[in-house]
Amino acid sequence: MSMALKQVFNKDRTFRPKRKFEPGTQRFELHKKAQASLNAGLDLKQAVALPHGEDLNDWVAVHVVDFFNRINLIYGTISDSCTDQTCPVMSGGPKYEYRWQDEHKYKKPMAVPAPKYMSLLMDWIEVQINNEHIFPTNVGTPFPKTFMQVAKKILSRLFRVFVHVYIHHFDCVSQMGAEAHVNTCYKHFYYFVTEFNLTDHKELEPLKEMTTRMCH
């Protein structure tokens, strides 16, 4: 990564603190394996494939945390230009509006400004990935039956961050010279969720044309 990009993607700008993997754990080893294949310049389509002999739940868990960290960083870089005034609703252009819903305060889908949506989303994801009953960190502790369902929900909602950034803040990304980094992260995410069918095709619709140009 160039020095300019390092300054753009510095950890002070991260929207949320990074979630780390405990050294010595199987998840940490898988994380290193995933990073190594990316750093080796492997084709992103190949890089997302499940390594031989590895458990799919573990592989998905590692990537959910990784994408959470990276997308946090991407949103953190444009968060100054994403305000209640510039983005009074969380949207992806005029056709797509995202309403927030959770198990606690927002029982019904609620329209909220984009920064509020991002904040609620990142808080909600942090609760999920820090919950040992959903994302167990000890080897031998089984994943719950609902794990894939939760992972799909997290990834679908993270995709909306890409939608908002690309459609409403890409000029900001370009001005920072961070275009290539964001595009690579997007392609990696897209190949991963489509490889394992982790996001509904309806969710992918807002960036369909761009994805066709970039990923096919």
Binding-site positions for Zn(2+) read 82, 87, 164, 169
The Cα–Cα gap between 161 and 155 comes to 10
Match 């310049």 to its residue by tokens. Answer: 41
Binding residues, as ranges, are 82, 87, 164, 169
The Cα–Cα gap between 182 and 61 comes to 21
Structure tokens at 10: 């510095």
Structure tokens at 187: 């392609």
The Cα–Cα gap between 21 and 26 comes to 9
Question: Can you list the alpha helix ranges (DSSP code H) found in the chain?
Answer: 3-8, 26-39, 44-47, 56-78, 114-129, 147-168, 170-175, 179-195, 201-204, 208-215
The Cα–Cα gap between 121 and 79 comes to 14
Contacts (Cβ under 8 Å, ≥6 apart) of 177: 2, 4, 5, 8
The Cα–Cα gap between 34 and 63 comes to 8
